[in-house]
Amino acid sequence: MTPVERRSLDRRIEQIYALKTGEGLPDDAADVVEELLDLLERGSVRAAARSPEGKWSAVPWVKRGILLAFRVGVVVPSAGTEGGAPAGERAAFFDKHTLPLRRFALSDGIRIVPGGSAVRRGAYLAPKVVCMPPMYVNVGAHVGSGTMIDSHALVGSCAQVGERVHVSAAAQIGGVLEPVNASPVIIEDDVVIGGNAGVYEGTIVRKRAVLGAGVILTRGTPVFDLVRERVHRANGDAPLEIPEGAVVVPGARGVTSAWGASQALSLQTPVIVKYRDEKTDLATALEDWLR
Distance CA 25, CA 98 (A): 15
Going from N- to C-terminal start, the domains of the chain cover: 3-75, 108-284
**Do residues 153 and 169 lie in contact, with contact meaning Cβ atoms separated by under 8 Å?**
yes
Q: Specify the pLDDT at position 104.
A: 95
Q: Specify the pLDDT at position 22.
A: 72
Q: Specify the pLDDT at position 78.
A: 79
Q: Specify the pLDDT at position 83.
A: 53
Instruction: Find how far residue 102's CA is from the centre of its chain.
Output: 16
Please state the rounded mean pLDDT for residues 54-74.
96
Q: What is the pLDDT of residues 213-266, one digit of tens each?
A: 999 999 999 999 999 999 999 998 899 999 999 999 999 999 998 899 999 999
Helix then strand then coil, in percent of the chain rounded to 5, is 25, 25, 50
Q: What is the pTM of this model?
A: 0.92
Q: What is the pLDDT of residues 86-118, one digit of tens each?
A: 656 777 789 999 999 999 999 999 999 999 999
Q: Specify the pLDDT at position 181.
A: 85
Q: How many percent of the chain have pLDDT more than 70? A: 91
**Do residues 141 and 124 lie in contact, with contact meaning Cβ atoms separated by under 8 Å?**
yes
Distance CA 286, CA 84 (A): 38
130-131 and 111-112: which strand pairing?
parallel
Distance CA 249, CA 192 (A): 12
Q: Specify the pLDDT at position 283.
A: 61
Distance CA 248, CA 232 (A): 12
Q: Hey, which CATH number is domain 108-284, 3.40.250.10, 3.40.50.720, 2.160.10.10, 1.10.240.10?
A: 2.160.10.10
Residues 6+ apart with CB under 8 A from 212: 194, 197, 247, 248, 249, 250
Supply the mean pLDDT for the chain: 91
CATH (residue range 3-75)? 1.10.166.10
Q: Specify the pLDDT at position 289.
A: 47
